[in-house]
Amino acid sequence: MTTPSPAALDVDTLLRDAKIIVCCGAGGVGKTTTAAALAVRAAEQGRSVCVLTIDPARRLAQSMGLTELDNTPRAVSGIDTAAGGRLDAMMLDMKRTFDDIVLAHADEARAKAILANPFYVSLSSSFAGTQEYMAMEKLGQLKATGTWDLIVVDTPPSRSALDFLDAPQRLGRFLDGRMIRLLTAPARAGGRAYLKVFTVGVKMFTDVLNRMLGAQALKDLSLFVTSLETMFGGFRERADQTYKLLKERGTSFVVVAVPERDALREAAYFVERLETEQMPLAGMVLNRMHTSAAAALSVERAVAAAETLDAAGEEPFAAAALRVHADRLTAALRDSRRASQFHAAHPRVRIVEVAAQATDVHDLEGLRAIGADLAANPADAA
């Protein structure tokens, strides 16, 4: 029902040329499914692809053979390899990824101490925010192996999904600031010495921490930061590298949305954020677009016809069909209106639409169908 336009996202070209595709968007918009569909299509077109998912729905994960969480990409079976491609998939194990960094950057004794520190255990396994960092860390690792032509990465379902963009700056601020010296001072100097070095404000700060956390926890925290200190430089370097990697030629961001107000608002936020950071935005995938194959029969006429039949007490099935059509066409018109509004506000963002599926997708067949839809149905956003 739509025709190609200059503003349409050309998915097959993207899949042919990109080295990294980062899918981002609000929760519940089909981001993981989109990432998986892109990966399957690229693989079946002959590329060697790895898809990194964060938290896939159980059945989707099963469809790709992701039954164990071992933090290593595994081959997806059932992929058509006739064109010479392949697909590996993995689910992010956040704690394990973090552990690996520690092990890579610290000697054995120190690594052991860090891994056992209660602050580390919490930070690495349960706190929100760690996931975003670890997803990007894993992306950097996968990329560094040089094993795949293309890595498709899904991001966590939160606005903070883009927090990783801030990571280098934040870590820099932290490392160059006095905070780190403060936190490590008690462990290093045992209390008295550092008071002489720093100002009144600093004393107040440590006093506050002491009063708030208690002496033991402050000591734990201090030990934790101290033991991590040697690694922070490495953290920053990695964060810088990932940031550069994301800006490189060959990396493309795809914002995923559905034609709902909230999701489009989030998409606008992502688009603007990526533009501010000058990140390479390929375009937007607009999932769950309602469509109607009988658009010529208008909503008004369908409703009027249903009412005529009801009044006559005739043909209840046809009356129902007319109402179903009226609802569906209303939804289709609303969706395409929202898509045009988004396009008007963000004219440079290329859009591709994917029709609403009657049921949830959880097999390769379904992913292929979405992939075909992504490639064959460029949005008429002109």
Partner 1 sequence: MADFPAVKLHVVSGKGGTGKTTIAAGLALALAAGGRQVLLTEVEARQGIAQLFDTPPLPYEERRVAVARGGGEVYALAIDPEQALLEYLEQFYNLRRAGSMLKKLGAIDFATTIAPGLRDVLLTGKVMEAATRERRGGGRIYDAVVLDAPPTGRIAKFLNVNTEVAALTRMGPVTKQANSVMNLLRSVKTAVHLVTVLEEMPVQETADGIEELIATDLRPGAVIVNMVRDPLIPEDRIGDTAAGSVDTDDIARGLKAAGVEGDATTVAALAGEMTDHARRVLLERQELETLTALDRPTYQIPYIGDAAELSGLQEIADRLQAAGMI
Could you say which residues in the range 344-373 bind partner 1, by CB under 8 A? 358-360
Q: Between residues 301 and 348, which has the closer beta carbon with respect to partner 1?
A: 301
**For partner 1, which stretch binds (CB under 8 A), given 71-79, 139-147, 208-216, 369-377?**
208-216
Nearest alpha-carbon partner for 224 in 99, 127, 123: 123
96-115: which residues touch partner 1 (CB under 8 A)? Answer: none
217 binds partner 1 (CB under 8 A): yes
Q: For strand 86-91 and strand 74-75, is the pairing parallel, antiparallel, or unpaired?
A: antiparallel
Closest CA to 139 of 22, 26, 281, 17: 22
Rounded CA-CA distance 303/319 in Å is 9
Kindly state the smallest distance separating residue 280's Cβ from partner 1, in Å.
25
Among 84, 177, 191, 233, binds partner 1 (CB under 8 A): 177
Task: List the interface residues with partner 1, window 80-99 (CB under 8 A).
Answer: none
The angle at the Cα of 124, spanning 123 to 125, to the nearest 5 degrees, equals: 100
**Footprint (CB under 8 A) of partner 1, residues 126-145:** 126-130
Copy the structure tokens of residue 113. Answer: 């101490």
Q: 280-309: which residues touch partner 1 (CB under 8 A)? A: 292-294, 296-297, 301-302, 304-306, 308-309
Closest approach, Cβ 130 to partner 1, in A, equals 6
Contact call for residues 153 and 35 (beta carbons, < 8 A) = yes
267-301 core/surface letters (b: 16 or more CB in 10 A; e: else): bbebbebbeebebbbbbbbbbbbbbbeeeeeebee
Binds partner 1 (CB under 8 A): choice among 159, 195, 229, 240 = 159
> By CB under 8 A, is residue 212 in contact with partner 1?
yes
Which residues in the 4-63 window bind partner 1 by CB under 8 A?
Answer: 26-29, 55, 57-59
* Pick 278 or 359: Cβ nearer partner 1: 359
If one asks whether residue 170 binds partner 1 (CB under 8 A), the answer comes out as yes
For partner 1 (CB under 8 A), the number of binding residues is 81
Q: Of 188, 244, 247, 334, which one interacts with partner 1 (CB under 8 A)? A: 334
Q: Does 1 bind partner 1 (CB under 8 A)?
A: no
Amino acid residing at 370: I
Residue 323 as a binder of partner 1 (CB under 8 A): the answer is: yes
Rg (CA), the chain: 26
Closest separation in Å from C-beta 245 to partner 1: 22
Identify which of residues 72 and 127 has a Cβ nearer to partner 1 in the complex: 127
Residues 300, 305, 310, 315, CA torsion sign:
negative
The CA distance from 326 to 329, in Å, is 5
Rounded-to-integer distance, Cα 164 and Cα 129, Å: 9
